[in-house]
Structure 1
């Protein structure tokens, strides 16, 4: 009888931990993306050109990407509670300060710091979930964490856009900070105390081992695939906000927020491709998804009907995030087991760096060649990505033959 009670209690704690972790990931990952649909309102507040406002997201996303790789090794050495509390507190303070600053340059620094602080939470909680979930429940638990990241992107952009229309972006930021505060109240019951782990290798050695992976030609190619994919996806989506707020659409932030919910297909995409990979080779599935990414870009770029644009957004999220489990799976086949954590961090870094740089560079194209120039560039980059993918698959097959 006693043993039954103990088992049930353990399962209940595990469920609570997953739920609290998922909510924290939704809010903290989302904090990096809150500016994407409100560039116009922010540019008006600081009296700057709307195209200059895109640097807010670009810098925040870049700092988030770099910081995630920094926090990755620390998550094995530092208490999970400490990392989560540190990141949450820093993000809350930055959101509060951002709501009151008058200088755009200071605002840029604060928003970049949000990317730095927010990264510690998913880095710590992904590692915590992997260590504290029973093996039979691990795939489901990690799927929830990945889905939480995606939902965070969609939720934050939509809810902040709607609150900005109703009140102001400053009040929206303060309300968002209060949501994080509420979530942090559950940290003591949702995240168990963890002691520092001791390893024979230092953090410096961990970073050096990760850096050595960049000298593997096949690894480098798949990192470039992620870079170009997010260059197109995040860069295009950031400028789509500016495009839809202008002629001939003149959409409000609230409508953009509702339109953004089409991105919930990202969760569906990762599930579908995971199932399809059992019947279709990963290489072929990768090519098919990239071709469909191109189709989605064309649909978004050349449609004059909002329904068609919504379908394009649905497809873009579906296939971009449907690609993720395939690429990560292929990368894990390339590297040794003890490097799988490092390769995941490197891949995330390459993706988010691509999105950050894409937002900035495509903004220059938008300024000089208008919307058609952006879409044409995205289509060309997607075609190049397909060619690089074919090369990567060929090299992967050669590497696998050598290993056999």
Structure 2
């Protein structure tokens, strides 16, 4: 880390980065488990209550186009603190609202505030991690961000069942604010020299598109997009598959089966470390290939055991490949573009997952689980091809 500090403080800093990243993602996904409670409280249909997550995720993704370039120009811990304050205030305000339209506006604000945290903390981790452990640290942050999805759904769902969604929101707001204060207090500014740049605001907005104009960067971004299209498509429609014959599982049983994937998140830090040792391409190919094998296990069987093994393998594969791709993107751009590049990668992954849920709906209706399996297999195969193409291209760094 950039400043000399006692060992406990040095060890605490990367953990703090991971925790606030996890909390940001938790706030994005926290409404998914409480649509019914929101519908009853705000007096709308449950289908309309689902718009709360749609607004949050939409503004979360689009905000990376702005906060990514900004993260390369500001004190990153202060940016994370500002995002945490904005996020906490939006969540807190939402807990007092009883008008659904205003609630949606605040959910959009939640997405915007949440985006500032990973946009600043991912490049911060890259800049401050010991060079020999950068891959492991980035992998750990990616793993915690994924755990945030589960925490948002599970913890907020439990608190809602105990005390109501309003109290659950207020508790989350307090935790986010407290963690933001810790970030400001304990995380020093990274020691890196950025080139003098008098770029104006509109020039700053062009930066993501300038990065996407680089052949290697856009290829790596689409590698992540296609990876998440196949991954999220399979995981999303697995819920419907397990509710059908021959399984007939309840929502609770499906949730327990899906939790098996969490054990594979341990692979993300290891993948980051292996990427530095063996090269990003070998690790990415191994991870995506593991995903392809897992899809065949889940796609062509009517037994629970192969499905559980497939879930374990697909999570291990995705979060084995993702840190390696992320690191290659970070190392393929100038140091003053790391925040923008990492934000674009997050945006492309979110876009891939969202598009899978949308485009595979008609595929499911027309051809069922077989159609989804074939479509996701094609997406992962295309991701492998993109990785191979990126491996051959030179970076602009």
Q: TM-score, normalised by structure 2?
A: 0.78
User: Residues 179-218 of structure 1 correspond to what in structure 2 (within 5 A)?
Assistant: 179-192=175-188, 199-202=196-199, 204-218=202-216
Tell me the distance in 2 between the aligned counterparts of 1:323 and 1:177: 33
3-state secondary structure, aligned to 1:249:
coil
Compute the displacement of 1:323 (Å). Answer: 1.1
* 1:256-295, Cα deviation, whole Å (9 max, x unpaired): 6655543324532324444655787754654443343244
* 1:346-380, Cα deviation, whole Å (9 max, x unpaired): 222111122233334445656x44xx636623531
User: Residues 320-399 of structure 1 correspond to what in structure 2 (within 5 A)?
Assistant: 320-331=318-329, 335=333, 339-363=337-361, 368-369=365-366, 373=368, 376-377=371-372, 379-387=374-382, 389-390=384-385, 392-394=387-389, 396-397=391-392, 399=393
Q: 8 Å contact 1:263–1:317 — kept in the other structure?
A: yes
Q: Which residue of 2 aligns with 1:72?
A: 68
* 1:224-253, Cα deviation, whole Å (9 max, x unpaired): 22122223434554555677689932324x
1:221 to 219, 222, 235: 219
2:262 to 246, 261, 264: 264
User: Residues 227-238 of structure 1 correspond to what in structure 2 (within 5 A)?
Assistant: 227-238=225-236
Q: Which residue of 2 aligns with 1:3?
A: none
Q: 8 Å contact 2:223–2:384 — kept in the other structure?
A: yes
User: Residues 163-174 of structure 1 correspond to what in structure 2 (within 5 A)?
Assistant: 163-174=159-170
Q: 8 Å contact 1:61–1:353 — kept in the other structure?
A: no
Tell me the distance in 2 between the aligned counterparts of 1:41 and 1:311: 34
Tell me the distance in 1 between the aligned counterparts of 2:307 and 2:78: 43
Q: 8 Å contact 1:231–1:354 — kept in the other structure?
A: yes
2:57 to 51, 54, 61: 61
Specify whether residues 128 and 329 from structure 1 end up closer, same or farther in structure 2 by C-alpha distance, changes over 3 A only.
closer
Specify whether residues 91 and 290 from structure 1 end up closer, same or farther in structure 2 by C-alpha distance, changes over 3 A only.
same
Question: Are 2:154 and 1:158 aligned?
Answer: yes
Q: Which residue of 2 aligns with 1:115?
A: 111
Q: Give the root-mean-square deviation of aligned CA atoms.
A: 4.0
Matched positions, count? 389
Q: 8 Å contact 1:61–1:355 — kept in the other structure?
A: no
Specify whether residues 89 and 236 from structure 1 end up closer, same or farther in structure 2 by C-alpha distance, changes over 3 A only.
farther
